Amino acid sequence: MLLFRWLLLILLLVAGVCFAYYAATGQPRYKRVGWIILKWTILAALGFFAVLFVERLA
């Protein structure tokens, strides 16, 4: 569980760095990559919390 939390934090930081690169350079590929990383990070987090919720119910 700790590993998953660290992984989520690192992915959010990477997405933030991509957005910072986009702001600095203006290249749209950094924005696109940042959105992709952010989208999959949020989906993974939702899945993780759904599993925790289901475990609590059982």
Q: What is the pLDDT of residue 2?
A: 87
The whole-number pLDDT of residue 36 equals 97
> Mean of the pLDDT values across residues 1-9?
89
- Write down the domain spans for the chain: 2-57
pLDDT at residue 9 tops 90: yes
Cβ-based neighbour number of residue 28 at 10 Å:
9
Q: Is 49 exposed, middle or buried (0-12, 13-18, 19+ CB in 10 A)?
A: exposed
| Confidence band of 16 (pLDDT split at 50, 70, 90) | very high
Does residue 38 have a pLDDT over 90?
A: yes
Helix pair 28-57, 2-25: axis angle to 10 deg: 160
Decide if pLDDT at 58 tops 90: no
